[in-house]
């Protein structure tokens, strides 16, 4: 596995991976209607491109395939952590989180925080995050339960 920085040419692959991961993995914990709103058939490509360009994003590659991606906002917020359904349970998210954590340490941040899906909560707990509070967030008119979680950095 190789971790590298995202480049604009990765946009379509990353958008596809996001949709697959939500629709095939997060569907274990959310309804069909919810995953279709979360990962719509026609996502806003411009908005995606702008978001990726606005913060560091890292890609995990396995044999040249994009297997997962994550990102880090300047205040320690991890917005995205998605692994392709064909590459679950291989340590992809672990490697990505390690990279984000190293960058956070380099920036002198004292914590990472996220809003973890029900699906991702056990992963983040395994990695030393604790739940601050469950919450209900509204996305395009649909309610989702997720968890505000944080990890204090040494
Ligand atoms: C959550 C997710 C990112 C984990 O990715 P992954 O590459 O499979 O995770 P890893 O292989 O690095 O797992 C690391 C550890 O977390 C544990 N873990 C991961 N997912 C888990 C789960 N659902 N339940 C329990 N443990 C889990 C693994 O067992 C592993 O433990 P170990 O260190 O003892 O072996 C992935 O399942 C995913 O993409 N989910 C759907 C999308 C999603 O909801 N993303 C989060 C949005 S906030």
**pLDDT tens figures, 127-136:** 999 999 999 9
Q: Are 59 and 66 in contact (CB under 8 A)?
A: yes
Percent of the chain clearing pLDDT 90 (strictly above): 99
CA of 87 to the centre of ligand 1 (A): 10
CA of 72 to the centre of ligand 1 (A): 18
- Tell the residue nearest (CA) to atom 33 of ligand 1: 126
Q: Give the mean pLDDT of 86-105.
A: 98
pLDDT confidence band for 126 (50 / 70 / 90): very high
Query: Which domains, from first to last, does the chain contain?
Result: 2-110 (3.40.630.30)
| CA gap 96, 55 in Å, rounded | 15
Residue 104, pLDDT score: 97
CA of 27 to the centre of ligand 1 (A): 14
| pLDDT(121) > 90 | yes
20 φ, ψ (degrees, to nearest 5): -65, -45
Q: Give the mean pLDDT of 37-51.
A: 97
| pLDDT(59) > 90 | yes
Q: Give the mean pLDDT of 102-112.
A: 97
The residues lining ligand 1, judged by C-beta closer than 6 Å to any ligand atom, are 21, 25-26, 81-83, 88-94, 116-117, 119-120, 122-123, 126
- Tell the residue nearest (CA) to atom 20 of ligand 1: 123
Residue 52, pLDDT score: 97
| pLDDT(92) > 90 | yes
| pLDDT(37) > 90 | yes
| CA gap 104, 78 in Å, rounded | 10
Tell me which DSSP letter residue 85 carries.
G
CA of 63 to the centre of ligand 1 (A): 20
| pLDDT(154) > 90 | no
């Amino acid at each position: 596995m190789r971790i590298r920085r995202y480049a604009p040419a990765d946009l379509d692959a990353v958008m596809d991976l996001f949709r697959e991961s939500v629709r095939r993995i997060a569907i274990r914990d959310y309804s069909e209607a919810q995953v279709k709103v979360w990962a719509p058939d026609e996502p806003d490509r411009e908005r995606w491109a702008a978001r990726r360009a606005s913060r560091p994003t890292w890609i995990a590659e396995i044999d040249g395939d994009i297997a997962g991606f994550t990102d880090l906002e300047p205040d320690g917020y991890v917005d995205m952590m998605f692994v392709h359904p064909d590459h679950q349970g291989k340590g992809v998210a672990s490697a990505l989180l390690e990279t984000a954590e190293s960058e956070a340490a380099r920036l002198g941040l004292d914590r990472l925080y996220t809003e973890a899906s029900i699906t991702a909560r056990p992963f983040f707990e395994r990695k030393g995050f604790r739940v601050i509070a469950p919450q209900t967030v509204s996305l395009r008119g649909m309610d989702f339960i997720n968890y505000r979680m944080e990890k204090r950095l040494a």
